[in-house]
Amino acid sequence: MAGIETSTRFIVCLKWIEPPTAFRAIRKEQISAMAKIKQGTSQKKRPLKKGELPSVQEVIPIKRMDQNDVVKDDDSYLAFLKVSTQDINGLSAQEQQQAQSQFENLSRIYDDDMSILSMMFPTNIDSNLTFWNKKLMQAKKRQNMAQMMICREQIQRLLWVEMELSNLEFYCMVYGKTKKDIILAKTLMKRSGGSLLKIRDVSAGQTEKILTKLFNMNTAI
């Protein structure tokens, strides 16, 4: 009980102690400075009319595309890199250990900020569809009805796969203050990924799809 009474008195004494005058002055200056900062930031925003919605440029912090890199509204850069997916259950114990070691090596070497994204995208059938369309044209020239039927069946199957099935894809998002920084970041990521991760560049078209997916999470791409 004595210990409890002592701690209670100590708390009461703390309430009686007032901060020094210098400390109170600093606190007032800090509060006034914060108020000025908040006031300045609020003045930069465009006043909206009643019922008016802000534009996309005002909401999304993206200014433009620089090839396959993204320029933010503060002129800094970000870029996406695709990670090759692996069937872990299909790998041997040695290959699983190798993949884990390569990811640990990547995390140890690349010490800058990085984000890992997992996103569902429709299955890419472009190369297969081009192949079977070419075969169909050849069959039409030779008037080979059996081959034409097979090609049409394959094309219909590919279109069904694109509509009904999706792939789980993984991306790394890296950042840089300048164009040179983002190029160095991508180069270091690709070199540190190893043979199993197979980190590679993303095209400008795929970058736009990723951004669309990020800012429209409930919209089918």
Q: For residue range 73-107, what is the model confidence (pLDDT) as tens digits?
A: 888 999 999 988 777 777 788 888 887 888 888 88
Q: Tell me how far apart the alpha carbons of residues 71 and 63 are, in angstroms, rounded to a whole number.
A: 6
Report the pLDDT value the prediction gives residue 89, as an integer from 0 to 100: 74
pLDDT score of 44:
57
Domains of the chain: 2-44 (no CATH), 56-123+165-215 (3.30.70)
Q: Which residues, in sequence order, are CB contacts of 132 under 8 Å at separation 6+?
A: 151, 154, 155, 158
Using a pLDDT cut of 90, give the percent of the chain over it.
Answer: 9
Q: What is the pLDDT of residue 28?
A: 42
| Token code pair at residue 107 | 């995390």
Q: Are 139 and 153 a contacting pair, CB within 8 Å?
A: no
In this predicted structure, the answer to whether residue 193 has a pLDDT above a threshold of 60 is yes
Mean pLDDT of the region 147-171: 85
pLDDT, tens digit (0-9, with 9 covering 90-100), for 133-145: 999 999 888 888 8
pLDDT in the model for residue 38: 39
Q: State the pLDDT at residue 79.
A: 92
